[in-house]
Structure 1
Amino acid sequence: MSTLKEVELAISQLSPQELAAFRAWFAEFDAAAWGKQIEKDVAAGRLDALAEKALKHLREGRCTDL
């Protein structure tokens, strides 16, 4: 399977049980990929401004317990 269309076609032909297994696998795969990207962004300092803004709001008492 080398193209997105081929992947889509293969997925559309899965049985309900296979589709459920694929969903579970993809959820884990996607979460791991997202986690790796967040780690890269943190290491590169891309989230520093957001963290500083959140800490500023916390110091100013603008955060509340939910």
Structure 2
Amino acid sequence: MTELLEKAIEKLKTLPLSEQNAIAAMILVELEDEHQWDEAFARSPDLLAKLAAEAMAEYHAGKTQELDADAL
């Protein structure tokens, strides 16, 4: 376990049980979500490579534009 994680857990131990449980639930959901993404990417490497190649082809053909974060 990292020092940072140990420090976070020590602080969590000082919280009321309901808050500890809420944070634990959020962490578990995040970990499961990450696991599902990893599995999805592992099952479709060919599709991801194809999408990346298409994106690069569009970029090289001048069919893309720079993202304007202010316009979002």
- Equivalent residue for 2:55? 54
Q: Deviations over 1:11-39 (max 9, x none)?
A: xxx82320211111220221122112112
**Off by >6 Å, runs of 4+ in structure 1:** none
TM-score by length of 1: 0.55
TM-score by length of 2: 0.52
Matches of 2:65 and 2:26 in 1, distance apart? 36
Alignment partner of 1:41 out of 30, 41, 44: 44
Asked if 1:25 corresponds to 2:20, the answer is no
Q: How many residues align?
A: 51
